[in-house]
Amino acid sequence: MYRGCKLKFIPQPIADVVVIETTMHGDERGYFLETFRQDRLEHAIGYKVNFIQDNESKSSKGVLRGLHYQIPPYAQAKLVRVTEGRVLDVVVDIRKYSPTYGQHVSVELSSKNKKQLFIPRGFAHGFVTLSETATFTYKVDNYYAPKHDRGIAYNDKHLAIDWVIQEEYLQLSEKDRNSTSFLEVDAPF
Instruction: Give the integer Cα–Cα distance in Å for 189 and 168.
Output: 34
Helix or strand holding residue 177 (H, E)? helix 174-177
Instruction: Give the integer Cα–Cα distance in Å for 177 and 169.
Output: 14
Catalytic site residue from 68, 69, 125, 154: 68
Are 68 and 125 a contacting pair, CB within 8 Å? Answer: yes
The answer to whether residue 138 is catalytic is: yes
Catalytic site residue from 104, 125, 138, 154: 138
* Contact residues for 125 (Cβ-Cβ < 8 A; gap 6+): 66, 67, 68, 69, 78, 80, 89, 90, 91, 92, 119
Please give the positions annotated as active site.
68, 138
